[in-house]
């Protein structure tokens, strides 16, 4: 193609005026053009415009130079064709979040009870004989006291308002944080365009119509475009069409490139023709957005899980192209919940929450029943009074009071602070992990990582530095142990070698001068090609003049590198009409196709299979054993006489090659990796290397890293051998066979993406060993998508990773470094421990408060801790404690223990010992104070006080001591493995210190000035000192408890188990229904009260709680609004590969729009979040 710069004005020539008229083509014409496909589109372009070059002229851009980047020109393009930006869904307002928080059933019950109480307190029965109502009316000393009856109701309402505001504020800040994270992910997404003849990377949002974009393997197209020039280009358009086959793109057959599709092979250039809402994906979003409310919800999900400005479109991954996956799709019949389970912690919390909820419900019901029975028997049977009309309001007031006490017990039993602790802990970790080069895309991944038992890592770039250099070469029958001098090589051979390397590589790959004086040259593009170009420079030659002489347009045919070909070839047409093809690729693969080799004189001589075997032994294996990657460079001539060969018949074309040279490329191991791998092994995590490299190279690198240790019985396999061992005669993977291979496997070399996926799936599904494995995988290539999605945690490379890999991942490593994975493990374990610390503290509070309220109510007909006090203890202390305990920074000691695994209970025996031990201490103290406290302190007893009596010092001391004990127990809760020094590192956590001191200060205010609303009477300094002293007893008692060896306490039960093996089997029988379905079944049996609280745990954990898809779980599961399953699907949405089965099922109200898009649930498969 000729350079058209001369034919039309350069890009910035539109001087003034911003109408379509300034461009030779309008937005509507372009939109209409982009809706056409293949031959139809080619016909329309020829008919209306002539050719693509003409469209470039109409758009005032140059196919070679691109736009000028002049700001006024860019503005005009924005005005005429729109911006590359899809506006986000509006976030929920604070009031909406308040309304949502008000939906909590326990809060609603409290509100109703408080309102009834308020109403009744204003009702005074007319005159009559108050005595006739028995004790109910007694004890009202004066009118003023009777008037104060409204205070309790008002105080409960007030505390409910505080709780709602705190919850709403948390949700609001969480959503804000999540949006911040999403926009950070989006800012990182850049795309390569040509402006002023320079290849630059700009953020996706800045692309305008008329830009010339360079596209390559692994890209996710950010806008619609028309192909100008392409090499062997194949796209996956399944995200728009639902068809999983790759579509070949070329100028004469199908030049239309659509946003949201993936480049699976090849490279090229396109002129951008539609952006943002006018692109094909934008049009689909507009159609969806205009649908009814239910459909809007789906759009939310389709928009990067959060409706953040969507600059990258939804994808349906290339899973369907994997034959492996096709088999799996056939097996899954009735599943509408994808196999991606809830995170380990979520599962355990759901179960624990259900158990606690049941217990709380039972206790509160029992309390109410006992109180009412006691009152009725005492009043009507013992005292023999009759129920009269004028007494009714007074009796009802008593019943309401009992009801409030019952609800209070329930409120205390339900760990309201738990979801908050989870959220704070995860959000805090995610924020801090950013600094450790982990960009977390799905919150639960951060915690799952703490349970990881296996890491399958790539070699290049993760374990090694990804800075490749040629260090050895075999050329002209001689093996040079270091890069040869140009004089050592025959001039003819040298020219062929230089030409081959310069032409047969992506022109986007370059070596630029160092940024700093004395620094290393900068490698841009494919690192292996950079090494070869480096060899050209080492041979004192330059590749740029050759590229200028042969621009990409002059290339006749390009076979780009892909994982099945493992080689790249470029065909050029000679002046005489013949052709020359240059090839390069993995040495053992390319050498197999060579029939000649250039000798020392530069003449081709015959190269037989036995010569090849000799060369493998003498040259390739020694290079590989030094840890070098070997690349073979070759060429082939097609003479004019033979006519033009059939280029589509690859097997014949890529044959009969002549070998020019074999080079050994070194990619040094990152210096910090061996230590990081040793840490993983000490932490009980197995590291496996999965690489496409030669087995000898892989083994050498694995030994340097410490993955293979001398004297240990581990295996290294090649992909081929691995498949022979795990597949049966029909070629199907058998789990039993796989189970024999993976436990010892440490290196898998020459592996295909399918092998990687098979290995990951095999390890995850395996039931060998005590616990089910939790697998983390790293990947950077497009073809790593399926493995990244299948893994429990997928890590994508931030620098070398393709868009497709990033989109399939949970965490992006911004520095591509293995040590960052170890940091992620540390943070993950820290989250888990933080939740456990909080649980240990929370459950002690709950157990004590419930027992005190229950026994107190049964013995003294009134809870010693009043409803408002309970709310203060439960909600405010929980909220603050969750903040204090969830923000503990991680320590290296976390890496000294084994992973907890999926079925290790959340509450260990040691924790159970601590909870019960402290509960016993607190109960003894409180009951002693309750029944004998007035004697110790020489004050009036507060027991059996009448209905509206003023607060007593006695009950205030009980309340105060209770809070003091919790405060000191919060310090004990910092350690969950029975450590003695509970103050260790306390100064490193300023949040903890300020929370403890802050709570103490608030408590002083409540007791001294709380008065009637908090049922508190001010205390003297002496009484205060005694309260604090008793509270400090907690610390000493904690030391006593930790001295008791846990292994003697066999009777202690653990709680909060994960999933057990039997259930895994059961789960497999029910064909992959969701992991925690049993918990949901229990829920369905009517824990209506508990329901909302559980939902909150789900919601707050997933943070994505605003985006439900409205799917039900198993058929007939409760369609509760933020369904546990639908939220879970959102959280793991970007990991969920939509299979055809999934498509049909997941869109419960399938809607297909006029653009022929699949239902949004399928189209999105949670649109790219990066």
Catalytic residues: 458
Instruction: With beta carbons less than 8 A apart as the criterion, state whether 22 and 76 touch.
Output: yes
854 by Cβ neighbours in 10 Å (0-12 / 13-18 / 19+) ranks as: buried
Sign of CA dihedral 954, 955, 956, 960: positive
Q: What one-character-per-residue DSSP string does 552-606 give?
A: GGG--EEE---TTT-EEEEEEE-TTS-EEEEEEEEHHHHHHTEEEEE-TTS-EEE
Q: What one-character-per-residue DSSP string does 865-914 give?
A: S-HHHHHIIIIIIHHHHHHHHHTPPP-GGGGGS----TTS-SB-HHHHHH
The crossing angle, in degrees rounded to 10, of helices 818-860 and 344-376 is 10
| Local structure of 992: helix, strand or coil | helix
| Local structure of 448: helix, strand or coil | helix
- List CB contacts of 415: < 8 A, sequence separation 6 or more: 353, 356, 839, 842, 843, 846, 878
Residue 277, phi then psi, degrees to nearest 5:
-70, -15
Strands (E), 619-685: 628-638, 657-666
Strands (E), 996-1043: none
Instruction: With beta carbons less than 8 A apart as the criterion, state whether 313 and 1167 touch.
Output: yes
Quick one: how far is CA 408 from the chain centroid?
37
**Nearest partner of 893 among 673, 679, 655, judged by Cα:** 679
Distance CA 848, CA 846 (A): 5
As a 3-state breakdown, the chain gives helix, strand, coil percent values, each rounded to 5, of 50, 15, 35
Instruction: With beta carbons less than 8 A apart as the criterion, state whether 359 and 849 touch.
Output: no
CA distances from 477 to 60, 480, 534, 584, 608 (A): 54, 10, 22, 18, 14
Strands (E), 196-244: 198-203, 212-216, 224-236
CA distances from 754 to 524, 693, 787, 1135 (A): 29, 15, 8, 17
Distance CA 147, CA 124 (A): 10
- Paired tokens of 767: 């039931």
Rg, the chain, Cα only = 36
Instruction: With beta carbons less than 8 A apart as the criterion, state whether 285 and 255 touch.
Output: no
Q: Give, for 207, the enclosing helix (H) or strand (E).
A: none
Maximum CA extent, the chain:
127
Distance CA 1109, CA 1104 (A): 11
Distance CA 1103, CA 1126 (A): 13
Distance CA 325, CA 1141 (A): 12
Distance CA 914, CA 930 (A): 24
Instruction: With beta carbons less than 8 A apart as the criterion, state whether 59 and 209 touch.
Output: yes
Q: Tell me 468's DSSP state.
A: -
Side-chain-side CA neighbours of 1049 within 13 Å: the count stands at 18
Distance CA 502, CA 550 (A): 10
């Amino acid at each position: 193609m000729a350079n058209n710069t001369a034919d039309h004005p350069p890009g910035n020539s539109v001087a003034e005026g911003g109408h379509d008229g300034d461009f030779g083509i309008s937005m509507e014409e372009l939109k209409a053009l982009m809706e056409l496909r293949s031959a139809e589109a080619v016909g329309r372009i020829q008919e209306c415009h002539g050719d693509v070059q003409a469209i470039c002229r109409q758009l005032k851009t140059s196919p070679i130079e691109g736009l000028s980047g002049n700001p006024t020109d860019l503005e005009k393009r924005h005005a005429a064709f729109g911006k590359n930006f899809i506006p986000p869904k509006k976030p929920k307002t604070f009031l909406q979040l308040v309304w949502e928080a008000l939906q909590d059933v326990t809060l609603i019950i409290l509100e109703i009870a408080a309102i009834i109480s308020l109403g009744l307190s204003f009702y005074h029965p007319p005159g009559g004989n108050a005595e006739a109502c028995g004790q109910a009316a007694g004890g009202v000393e004066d009118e003023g006291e009777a008037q104060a009856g409204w205070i309790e109701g008002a105080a409960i309402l007030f505390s409910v308002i505080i709780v709602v505001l705190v919850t709403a504020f948390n949700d609001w800040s969480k959503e804000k944080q999540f949006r911040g994270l999403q926009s950070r992910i989006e800012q990182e997404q850049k795309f390569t365009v040509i402006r002023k003849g320079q290849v630059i990377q700009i953020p996706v949002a800045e692309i305008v119509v008329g830009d010339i974009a360079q596209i390559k393997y692994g890209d996710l197209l950010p806008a619609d475009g028309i192909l100008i020039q392409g090499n062997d280009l194949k796209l996956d358009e399944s995200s728009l069409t639902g068809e999983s086959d790759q579509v070949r793109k070329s100028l004469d057959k199908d030049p239309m490139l659509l946003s949201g599709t993936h480049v699976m092979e090849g490279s090229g250039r396109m002129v951008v023709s539609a952006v943002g809402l006018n692109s094909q994906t934008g049009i689909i979003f507009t159609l969806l957005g205009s649908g009814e409310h239910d459909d809007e919800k789906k759009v939310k999900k389709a928009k990067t899980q959060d409706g953040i400005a969507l600059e990258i479109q939804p994808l349906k991954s290339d899973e369907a192209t994997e034959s492996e996956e096709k088999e799996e799709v056939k097996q899954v019949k009735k599943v509408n919940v994808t196999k991606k389970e809830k995170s380990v912690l979520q599962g355990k919390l759901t179960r624990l929450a259900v158990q606690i909820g049941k217990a709380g419900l039972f206790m509160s019901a029992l309390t109410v029943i006992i109180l009412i029975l006691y009152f009725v028997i005492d009043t009507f049977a013992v005292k023999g009074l009759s129920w009269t009309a004028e007494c009714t309001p007074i009796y009802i007031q008593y019943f309401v009071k009992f009801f409030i006490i019952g609800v209070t017990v329930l409120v205390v039993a339900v760990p309201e602070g738990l979801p908050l602790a989870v959220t704070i802990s995860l959000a805090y970790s995610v924020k801090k992990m950013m600094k450790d080069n982990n960009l977390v895309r799905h919150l639960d991944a951060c915690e799952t990582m703490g349970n990881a038992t296996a890491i399958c890592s790539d070699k290049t770039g993760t374990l090694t530095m990804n800075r490749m250099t040629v260090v050895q070469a075999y050329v002209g029958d001689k093996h040079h142990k270091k890069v040869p001098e140009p004089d050592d090589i025959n001039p003819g051979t040298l020219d062929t070698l230089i030409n081959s390397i310069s032409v047969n590589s992506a022109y986007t790959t370059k070596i630029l001068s160092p940024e700093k004086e004395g620094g290393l040259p900068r490698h841009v593009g494919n690192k292996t090609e950079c090494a070869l170009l480096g060899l050209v420079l080492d041979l004192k030659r330059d590749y740029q003049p050759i590229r200028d002489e042969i621009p990409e347009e002059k290339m006749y045919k390009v076979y780009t590198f892909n994982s099945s070909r493992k080689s790249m070839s470029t065909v050029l047409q000679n002046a005489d009409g013949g052709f020359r093809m240059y090839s390069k690729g993995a040495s053992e693969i390319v050498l197999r196709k060579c029939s000649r080799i250039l000798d020392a004189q530069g003449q081709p001589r015959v190269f037989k299979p036995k010569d090849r075997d000799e060369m493998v032994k003498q040259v390739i294996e020694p290079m590989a054993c030094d840890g070098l990657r070997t690349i073979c460079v070759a060429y082939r001539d097609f003479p004019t006489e033979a006519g033009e060969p059939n280029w589509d018949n690859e097997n014949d074309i890529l044959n009969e090659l002549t070998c020019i040279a074999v080079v050994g490329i070194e990619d040094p191991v990152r210096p910090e990796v061996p230590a990081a791998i040793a840490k993983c092994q000490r932490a009980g995590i197995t590291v496996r290397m999965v690489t496409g490299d030669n087995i000898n190279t892989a083994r050498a690198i694995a030994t340097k890293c410490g993955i293979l240790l001398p004297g240990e019985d581990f295996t290294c396999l090649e992909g081929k051998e691995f498949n022979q061992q795990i597949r049966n005669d029909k070629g199907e993977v058998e789990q039993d066979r796989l189970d024999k291979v993976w436990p010892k496997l440490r290196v898998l070399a020459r592996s295909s993406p399918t092998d990687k996926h098979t290995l990951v799936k095999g390890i995850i599904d395996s039931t060998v060993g005590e616990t089910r494995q939790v697998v983390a995988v790293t990947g950077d290539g497009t073809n790593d998508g399926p493995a990244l999605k299948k893994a429990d945690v997928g890590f994508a490379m931030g620098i070398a990773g393709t868009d497709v890999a990033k989109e399939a991942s949970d965490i992006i490593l911004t520095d591509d470094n293995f040590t960052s994975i170890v940091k992620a493990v540390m943070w993950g374990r820290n989250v888990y421990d933080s939740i456990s610390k909080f649980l240990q503290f929370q459950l002690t509070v709950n157990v004590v408060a419930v027992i005190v309220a229950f026994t107190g109510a049964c013995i003294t007909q009134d809870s010693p801790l009043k409803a408002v006090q309970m709310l203060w203890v439960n909600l405010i202390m929980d909220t603050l404690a969750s903040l204090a305990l969830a923000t503990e920074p991680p320590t290296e000691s976390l890496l000294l223990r084994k992973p907890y695994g999926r079925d290790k209970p959340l509450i260990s025996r040691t924790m159970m010992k601590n909870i019960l031990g402290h509960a016993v201490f607190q109960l003894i103290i409180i009951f002693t104070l309750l029944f004998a406290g007035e004697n110790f302190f020489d004050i009036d007893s507060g027991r059996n006080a009448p209905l509206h009596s003023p607060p007593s010092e006695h009950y205030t001391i009980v309340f105060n001591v209770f809070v003091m004990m919790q405060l000191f127990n919060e310090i004990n809760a910092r350690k969950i493995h029975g450590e003695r020094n509970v103050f260790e590192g306390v100064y490193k956590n300023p949040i903890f210190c300020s929370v403890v001191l802050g709570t103490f200060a608030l408590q002083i205010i409540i007791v001294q000035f709380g008065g009637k609303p908090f049922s508190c009477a001010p205390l003297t300094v002496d009484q205060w000192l005694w309260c604090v002293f008793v509270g400090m007893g907690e610390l000493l008692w904690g030391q006593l408890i930790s001295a008791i060896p846990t292994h003697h306490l066999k009777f202690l039960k653990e709680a909060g188990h994960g999933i057990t093996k039997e259930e895994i089997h059961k789960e497999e029988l029910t064909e992959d229904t969701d992991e925690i379905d049993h918990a949901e079944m229990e829920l369905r049996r009517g824990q209506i009260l508990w329901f909302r609280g559980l939902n909150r745990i789900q919601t707050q954990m997933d943070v994505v709680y605003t985006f439900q898809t409205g799917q039900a779980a198993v058929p007939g599961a409760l369609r509760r609004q933020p369904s546990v399953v639908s939220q879970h699907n959102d959280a793991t949405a970007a990991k969920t590969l939509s299979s055809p089965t999934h498509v049909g099922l997941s869109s419960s109200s399938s809607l297909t729009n006029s653009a022929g898009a699949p239902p949004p649930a399928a189209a999105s498969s949670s649109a790219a979040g990066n």
